[in-house]
Amino acid sequence: AGVRRYKWDVKYEFKSLDCYKKLAITINGKTPGPTILARQGDTIIVEVTNGLVTENLAIHWHGIRQIGSPWSDGTEGVTQCPILPGDNFTYRFIVDRPGTYLYHAHYGMQREAGLYGSIRVLLPDGVAEPFTYDYDRSIILNDWYHASTYEQAAGLSSIPFVWVEEPQSLLIQGKGKFDCSKLVTASSDPMACNTTNPECSPYMLTVVQGKTYRLRISSVTALSALSFQIEGHNMTVVEADGHYVEPIVVQNLFIYSGETYSVLIKIDQEPSRNYWITTNIVGRDATAKTPPGLAILNYYPNHPKRVPPTDPPAGPIWNDTAPRLAQSVAIKARQGYVHTPPPKSDRVIVLLNTQNKIDGYIRWSVNNVSFTFPHTPYLIALKENLHHVFDQHPPPDRLHEFTTYDIYGVVNNTNATSSNAIYRLKFNSTVDIILQNANTMTENNSETHPWHLHGHDFWVLGYGKGKFDAKNDPKKYNLANPIMKNTVAVHPYGWTALRFVADNPGVWLFHCHIESHFYMGMRVVFEEGVEKVSKLPSEIMGCGETKAFKKP
C-alpha cells in the first residue's frame, strides 16, 4: 500500500459559485476541494494550514472509520481541539475500504461555507468490481446560501429565532446559477452578481456514445434533501456509502446530506444533442424559492455549451414521501457481498427526534435532550481521566414516556433540557438504534433527518411508518441482506432501525447531517473501548483543560 500526501491551504476567498459573489472557504483556491484519489490500504496524510485568519477549523473524513486513528476523525469537541488560525495540523489515516466517501469541515456550521470534497478509494490492482464501466466521475451536490454562516448561526441561536430558510441555489460540482434580477439591492460592483461570469458556467460532463460511466454522486447539503436525474437516461445504483448494492434502476435518485451513491449510466441516446442533468429539492416546499440545479451531459462531439433543445425535466413532487421511502427500502446489499449482521443485539437505544425549546430558544433534541459540547474534547477527557469536564450520568436509552408519546401531534410541553452526557457502549457489543421521527413544533409537519455515524458502518435493518412497535417491528427486520451505510434517513413520521458493532475504540459522533439541526443540538456521542486507544498525539490538544498536555 502507498502513501498519499496532500498539502492544503484553507482560506476565505470571494467566489461566484452561483454567479453571486460571496466569501467561501477554499482549499488551495478551490471549492469543492481536490478529490482524494487512493487505493484500498493506502495511508492518507493531509497537512492542513488554517489560513482562515479569524476562525478555527477541523476537517472530518466522512465514511472513513479511522480504525486505530480515532484522533484523526476531525470532529472538533469530540476527537480534537480546533486548529487555530495560522496553525498547521496533520491528519493521518488509512483508507481500509474501497468506495466513495467525502470530507468536509466539522467546526460550527463551517461546512456550508464551501469546505468539502470527494474521496475515491479504488480496489487494489488486480481486484475487479462486480460491475464494469469505462469511465469514473465524481459529482458532489450541495445547496448554497448567500448569507454567511455567522449570520445563520447567530439567527438560529437568537430570540426571536431566525430560520435559515431555503437555499438560494443548488450546486452541481460547485456550480449553480442564481437569477441576479432577484437581488433586492443593486451593487456598484459589476461582478457582484453577474450571470456571464465564467465562474458560474454550469458543470459539464462530456461523454462518448456507447460508453458506460460510473458517476459517484454525493451530497453535502446544509439542509436540502435532493432528487438527482439525467434527462433521457436511467441510472443503475451499484454502490451506497462504500458498499455494493444489489443493482436497482432509477430515474430519480433521492439523496440526503452525507450519503454517497455510485450509479452506472449508458450513453445510448440520440447523439446529436446534449441533455440536462438536474437536481431538485424534495421533502420541503422550496419550489418558489430555490430553482433546480442544472448541469449539462455533453455528448461528444457536440459543443459542451450547447443548451439542450428541451426544457429541463421537472423533478418529482416535493411532498410525496412514498417513492423516497421505496428507494430507501430497495437499497440492499449485493449478492455475494453481503456482510451478515449479528442475529441479536445486546442493547437497544430508541432515539426520539423532536423539536423543542430551551429557555425560549428553539432546539432539536433526542429523547428530550439537546446536545452541547464541553470545552474539552471527549476523546482527550476520557483518555486523560478528566471526568469532571462533562456530565457523567448516562443519557436516556429511551424516553420514559415513549410508549405514550404522540408522534403525530404537537406536544403540550415542548421544553427540553440540554446535556453533554454521552452513551458509553460495551466494547464489541451489538447495538441497535431506533431513530423515531415525530411532529415538529408546527402542526402537520415532520421533517426528514439524515443521521450519520462516525467511526462505523451500520446495517439498515428496516424502515417503518408511524411509531416503532418494539414487539412486532423487529420481527420484520431484514437480517438476510441489509445494506451497510454510514448515513441513513429517518422519513417524516417514520422510524429507521440500525445495528452496529461497537468494535472501534474511540469516541464517535452520531448526528443529523443537516447543518442547522446539528448546530441546534441534534446529536449524540458514543464511546467504546477508549482504554484501548493508544497514546494520543499532543497536536489534538490545547483547548479547555487539555492545555497542560500540549507539548510546546
Distance CA 116, CA 59 (A): 9
Nearest approach, Cβ of residue 156 and ligand C2O (Å): 18
**Which run of H or E residues covers position 350?**
strand 347-358
Phi-psi region of 471 (alpha: psi -120 to 50; beta: other; left: phi over 0): alpha
Query: Which region among 19-27, 267-275, 479-487, 517-525 touches Cu ion (by CB under 5 A)?
Result: 517-525
Check binding of 485 to ligand C2O (CB under 6 A).
Answer: no
CA atoms within 13 A on the CB side of 288: 1
Where are the extended beta strands (E) located within 66-115?
Answer: 88-94, 99-105
Site for ligand C2O in 491-510 (CB under 6 A): 509
517 touches, from Cu ion, ligand C2O, none (C-beta below 5 to 8 Å by class): Cu ion
Which residues ranging from 417 to 436 are in contact with ligand C2O (CB under 6 A)?
Answer: none
H or E element at residue 150? helix 149-156
**Contacts of the segment 397-405: beta carbons below 8 A, 24+ positions apart:** 397/347, 397/348, 397/349, 397/350, 397/423, 398/348, 398/349, 398/350, 398/367, 399/350, 399/352, 399/367, 399/368, 402/350, 402/352, 402/436, 405/352, 405/438, 405/467
> Which member of 77, 258, 292, 374 binds ligand C2O (CB under 6 A)?
258
Contact flags string 96-115 toward ligand C2O, x per CB under 6 A: --------x-x---------
243 makes contact with ligand C2O (CB under 6 A): no
- Residue 511 contacts which entry, Cu ion, ligand C2O, none (Cβ below 5-8 A, type-dependent): ligand C2O
Residues in Cβ contact with 513 at an 8 Å cutoff, skipping those fewer than 6 apart:
256, 257, 258, 450, 451, 452, 487
Q: Where are the alpha helices (DSSP H) in 419-459?
A: none
Q: Which three cell numbers mark 492?
A: 417524516
258 binds, among ligand C2O, Cu ion, none (CB under 5 to 8 A by kind): ligand C2O
Instruction: Choose between 153 and 514: whose C-beta lies nearer to Cu ion.
Output: 514
Cβ proximity to ligand C2O: between 383 and 452 the closer is 452
Q: Does 449 bind ligand C2O (CB under 6 A)?
A: no
Residue 509's binding partner out of Cu ion, ligand C2O, none, with CB under 5 to 8 Å set by partner kind:
ligand C2O
Out of 36, 225, 331, 514, the only residue in the binding site for Cu ion (CB under 5 A) is 514
Stretch 423-452: interaction string toward Cu ion, x if CB under 5 A: --------------------------x---
- Minimum Å gap between C-beta 147 and ligand C2O is 21
CA-nearest of 240, 276, 138 to 450 is 240
Single residue of 216, 334, 456, 517 touching Cu ion by CB under 5 A:
517
Residue with cell 432515539: 351
Which listed residue (15, 21, 22, 62) binds ligand C2O by CB under 6 A? 62
Size of the site for ligand C2O (CB under 6 A): 10
In angstroms, what is the minimal distance from the CB of 345 to ligand C2O?
Answer: 23
Among 65, 214, 511, 517, binds ligand C2O (CB under 6 A): 511
* Dist. CA 50–CA 56, nearest whole Å: 7
Counting contacts by CB under 6 A, is residue 65 touching ligand C2O? no
202 binds ligand C2O (CB under 6 A): no
Asked if 383 touches ligand C2O (CB under 6 A), the answer is: no
Nearest-approach distance from CB 103 to ligand C2O, in angstroms = 8
Query: Which cell numbers in the block locate residue 15?
Result: 467566489
Closest C-alpha among 474, 437, 549, 511 to residue 76: 511
User: Per rule CB under 6 A, is residue 452 in the interface with ligand C2O?
Assistant: yes
C-alpha cell at 357: 425549546
Q: Which does 255 bind (CB under 5 to 8 A by kind): Cu ion, ligand C2O, none?
A: none
Residues 350, 403 contacting (CB under 8 angstroms): no
Nearest-angstrom CA–CA distance, 63 and 513 = 13
The neighbour count for residue 148, using CB atoms within 10 Å, is 15
Distance CA 350, CA 219 (A): 27
Binding residues vs Cu ion (CB under 5 A): 449, 512, 514, 517
Binding residues vs ligand C2O (CB under 6 A): 60, 62, 104, 106, 258, 452, 454, 509, 511, 513
